[in-house]
Structure 1
Amino acid sequence: MSILALLAAALRDDQIRTDPEALEAYSHDDAEWAPYRPPLAVVFAETLDDVVATVTAARDTATPIVPRGAGSGLSGGANGVDGSIVLSLERMTGITEVNVDERYAIAQAGVVNDVLRQHVAQHGLWYPPDPASQSIATIGGNVATNAGGICCVKYGVTTDYVIGLTVVLADGRVARLGRTTAKGVTGYDLTSLVVGSEGTLAIVVDATLSLLPLAGREERAIVGYFDDLVAAGRAVAAVASDGIVPSALELIDRTCIDAVNAWQDLGIPSTASAMLMAKVDETGETGQRLAARVAACFEAAGATGVERADDPDEVDRLILARRLAYPSLERLGPVLTEDICVPRTRVPEMLARIEGIAATWDVTIANIAHAGDGNLHPLIIVPDGDDAAKERAKRAFDEIVDGCRDLGGTVTGEHGVGLLKLPGARAEQGETVQDMQRAIKRALDPQGILNPGKAIPA
């Protein structure tokens, strides 16, 4: 039987779409210029059994299967390939358990990040990973790419909170990995192996996520304005050198400021070349002293102005510009998004290199950064339909990746390798490491049907 016939026998009609509109809409994520091909069909799983049935049909017909969450990825990790089935988990939205005493929740792959955060907050708990796409990105996608976010400088990324997973393997078997206890080291850490594997080793159906208490935090914001992007980078290095661990340390440059002001008019000083936003969340006098130390680092690095706030609404207002930066830039034209990560002390040098690369290739590069952990997101903006500018943008993209590696960095901090970062990953890892990855892939997916061509260089 064909793959479509097998799927039709196992699932309801409304769980399978083959119309051109659906095939196009579900054939790619948000990565500009990453190659993709429309799939044979899009399958909408609603239960664990649906995922098993879909994977089993793919196994029996040697059909590639591409798992997908919200499609908000920025590396091409959810892009369709020739002859594939796209398996959407967006309908699997159950939060099946919140254990207050042990501080964990079990969420299905289609649960939206921010929905989970709001749900556990009702129980006095907090799920820290907060990617910029938190209002649309799903837990399954966050697990697939090991997503980070604004507060990860202090609280870590997705893998720091995933203590268990239910996954479907390439042969259709179900594996329950990990634990619900605070500690556990039985056997290999297969949970961590799957986190960040971009759907190439197993399909995540649900995740058991460690939580923190919601109480005991008093957020304060410190915002510095700089006439020079590199000076803002020096402020980042100064915060790190002073031993301060803020709960957020975010940077946007003049291009982002102008885009945000044009869209939402937040009143950010239009003369600033860069804006550095920090948060600390220690309580009482400890928090006040820490905020003062951050402000002092900003001023010593050359900030032309510093604002501080401890009122929750004012804190949110000062940080809002960072969350609006990416959608504001998307209004200007197609955006090619970078995701490099360098040592914190090398942030000023990397920002200077990015400015030089933009000038060399005559392209507009906006800079957004989780600056506190050296994770930079240079965004290359190209006028729609300008093929010459698109080619220059690709050259600039490659030079940024090379420059990051020269400074001891890595080619992806949180978006995943997907398709766009395969050349950079190959250069970064070396043949021995790639051989190890390929061996793991062959062991768990001997047919090579799970998200083929993604995450690890062939």
Structure 2
Amino acid sequence: MTDVVSPESLAAELPQGMVVTDPDILAAYRQDRAQDPDAGTPLALVRPTTTAEVQVTVRWCAHHRIPLVTRGAGTSLSGGSTAVDGAIMLSTEKMRDLVVDTATRTAVVQPGLFNAEVKAAAATHDLWYPPDPSSFEICSIGGNVATNAGGLCCVKYGVTTDYVLGLEVVLADGRAVRLGGKQLKDSAGLPLTKLFVGSEGLLGIVTEVTLRLLPPQAPACTVVGSFATVHEASEAVLAITAQIRPAMLEFMDSVSINAVEDMLRMGLDRAAGALLVAQSDAPGPAGTAEVEIIQRAFEQHGATEVFATDDAKEGEAFTAARRAAIPAVEKLGSLLLEDVGVPLPQLPALIDGVAGIAAAREVMISVIAHAGDGNTHPLIVFDPTDDDEAGRAQTAFGEIMDLAISLGGTITGEHGVGRLKKAWLPNQVGDDVMELTATIKKALDPHGLLNPGVLL
């Protein structure tokens, strides 16, 4: 792009006030939760409410060759919605329609709705939307689709893609296409719906999602175990998952335990090296058997204390503690948030390896995890005003991703590659996959206008 294009002509095609150029407002949309210091400044912010308005925006960008970044609630932890200089920032925050269809057990939603709002709407019809990122109260369905978000219950109930039956997507040339629908089975043509889930805004802009809903989750029994070391806790995870698939199996280390206790004051064991929170929602005798398996695994792998409850409020308190881990650790300093995962047998090696990196680089790294599926969140805590420590933190960030790859794992289990992790993606997937990815991107977005700088 050689000439600066005024967004006034775009504003003339959209409802009054939908295109924003106020510098103070634009400044609030430069960064997402990843807080990328290299974030640019948008040419303008557009907040559409309909697919047609998204189409107008995309066609204007295509005509003028203006890049376009799509943003949901701004909770990306990988820089997936970081602003780009001179680009349009399209926020889906005002796209909030929702219709629940009890006959098909589906919800048709626009991308701006929060995950929690979809859950609440489903619950009013005695239905359940399972995917539950820790940020479920503040993250949007559009962002969940873009990154194929998971959450605490995905060890048993799966991730976002398992619940997306259909999409409406605006392509880079402004066409709107419908993929899938309310049917549970559909083998017609290529599985394009799956292609767009997890594509991080590179291939099109999702303007409507058809989600599969389930009957309500059965009441769960919660089992909590305190361990002297993170290694013992990780071995207990393997013992459990070798026998059953629990409804939840979450991990916290001593740093996160103490940070959460500082924030919530709920009586967590500050001396524990690690905490595991597990749940079984299997009915009747099957549930009793699962709880016994979990308790036995905890005890056989060195748990210093094991506590079980079928009280829903007590169980939710421990779940809330796990969800609070990232904001609690954030109070200790600036964070570089990792999202690496490994095959379950490699979980102890990953956790031990992260501890080794923390010691070698002399930085604090707190590890929390969706332990039941091998997806960990090492949180690197550092002082951004200390150049030496910040440098060591960045080195540790890369070494953790290298470690995950060396163990046959992934650099991201649910947060997406975004802008912060793309340098490591070729090391995981290889040159052929990178070439294939670029080919698909070019076929759908030949001018490279959608979310430039993400993933590729």
Q: Which amino acid aligns with 2:115?
A: N
Q: 2 CA distance for matches of 1:365 and 1:20?
A: 37
TM superposition shift of 1:99: 1.4
TM-score for both structures, normalised by structure 1: 0.97
Secondary structure in 2 matching 1:83: coil
Partners of 1:431 and 1:11 lie apart in 2 by: 42
Aligned match of 2:94 in 82, 91, 94?
A: 91
| Shift, 1:6, TM fit | 2.4
Q: Give yes or no for contact 2:134–2:323 (8 Å, CA) kept in 1.
A: yes
Residue of structure 1 in register with 2:200 after alignment: 198
Q: Compared with structure 1, are the counterparts of its residues 3 and 178 closer, same or farther at alpha carbon in structure 2 (3 Å cutoff)?
A: farther
Determine whether 1:20 maps to 2:8: no
| Displacement after TM superposition at 1:384 (Å) | 4.1
Counterpart of 1:111 in structure 2 is 113
Partner residue in 1 for 2:317: 317
In structure 2, the residue matched to 1:71 is 74
Asked if residue 184 in structure 1 is aligned to residue 186 in structure 2, the reply is yes
Residue 136 (structure 1) aligns with = 138
Matched letter for residue 301 of structure 2? A
The two structures, once aligned, show a CA RMSD in angstroms of 1.2
- Equivalences, count: 453
Amino acid at match of 1:115: E
Q: Deviations over 1:185-228 (max 9, x none)?
A: 1001111000000000000001000111115x120101110110
Q: Is the 8 A contact 1:3 1:61 kept in 2?
A: no
Larger deviation, residues 19-28 vs 72-81:
19-28
Q: Which residue of 1 aligns with 2:238?
A: 237
Q: Is contact 1:34-1:420 (8 Å) kept? A: no
1:301-347 CA-to-partner distances (Å, cap 9, x unmatched) read 11111110101111111222101111111122211000001011111
Which of residues 44, 48, 52 is equivalent to 1:45? 48
Aligned AA for 1:403? L
Cα shift readout 1:333-379 (whole Å, capped 9, x = no counterpart)? 21100000101111111100000100000000011100000000000
Q: Deviations over 1:266-314 (max 9, x none)?
A: 1001110110110110112211111111111111111111110101111
C-alpha contact 1:163 1:209 (8 A) present in aligned 2? yes
| Match runs of 1:188-267 below 5 Å | 188-214=190-216, 217-241=218-242, 243-267=243-267
SS, match of residue 7 in structure 2 = helix
Residue 271 of structure 1 aligns with an amino acid whose one-letter code is A
Q: Tell me the equivalent position of 2:177.
A: 175
Distance 2:264 2:62 in 1: 49
- Are the equivalent residues in 2 in contact too, given 1:347–1:374 (CA < 8 A)? yes
- 2:326 alignment counterpart: 326
Q: Per the alignment, in what secondary structure is the counterpart of residue 73 of structure 1?
A: coil
For residue 39 of structure 2, what is the aligned residue in structure 1? 36
Residue type at the aligned position of 1:21: D
The answer to whether the 8 A contact 2:100-2:121 is kept is no
Q: Is the 8 A contact 1:339 1:412 kept in 2?
A: yes
Q: CA deviation at 1:79?
A: 0.7
Map of 2:10 onto structure 1: 7
The one-letter code sitting in structure 2 at the alignment partner of 1:155 is Y
Residue pairs, 1:140-179, within 5 angstroms: 140-179=142-181
State the Cα deviation string for residues 370-411 of structure 1 (Å, max 9, x = none): 000000000001124222111100000111101111111011
Q: Tell me the secondary structure at the aligned position of residue 369 of structure 1.
A: strand
Q: Which residue of 2 aligns with 1:127?
A: 129
2:58 matches 1:55: yes
Matched, 1:439 2:442: no
Structure 2 residue matching 1:292: 3-state secondary structure: helix
Structure 2 residues without counterparts, runs of 5 or longer: none
CA contact (8 A) 1:240 1:345 kept: no
| Paired residue type of 2:24 | E
Aligned: 1:399 with 2:399: yes
After superposition, what is the alpha-carbon deviation per residue over 1:412-437, rounded to whole angstroms, capped at 9, x for unaligned?
A: 10000001111111111111111111
Shift, 1:94, TM fit: 1.0
Q: Distance in 2 between matches of 1:100 and 1:164?
A: 16
Question: Match for residue 344 of structure 1?
Answer: 344
Contact 2:36 2:82 in 1 (8 A): no
CA distance in 2, matches of 1:443, 1:384: 41
Q: Distance in 1 between matches of 2:9 and 2:447?
A: 18
1:35 and 1:425 map into 2 onto residues whose CA distance is 20
8 Å Cα contact 1:3/1:58 also seen in 2: no
SS at match of 2:365: strand
Three-state SS of the structure 1 residue aligned to 2:434 is: helix
Residues 356-435 of structure 1: matches in 2 within 5 Å? 356-435=356-435
Instruction: Tell me the amino acid that sits aligned with residue 323 of structure 2.
Output: R
CA distance in structure 1 between the aligned counterparts of 2:299 and 2:15, rounded to whole angstroms: 62
Query: Is the 1:35–1:76 Cα contact (8 Å) retained in structure 2?
Result: no
1:163, 1:191 within 8 Å by CA — same for their partners in 2? yes
Structure 1 stretches of 5 or more lacking a match? none
What letter corresponds to residue 236 of structure 1 in structure 2?
Answer: V
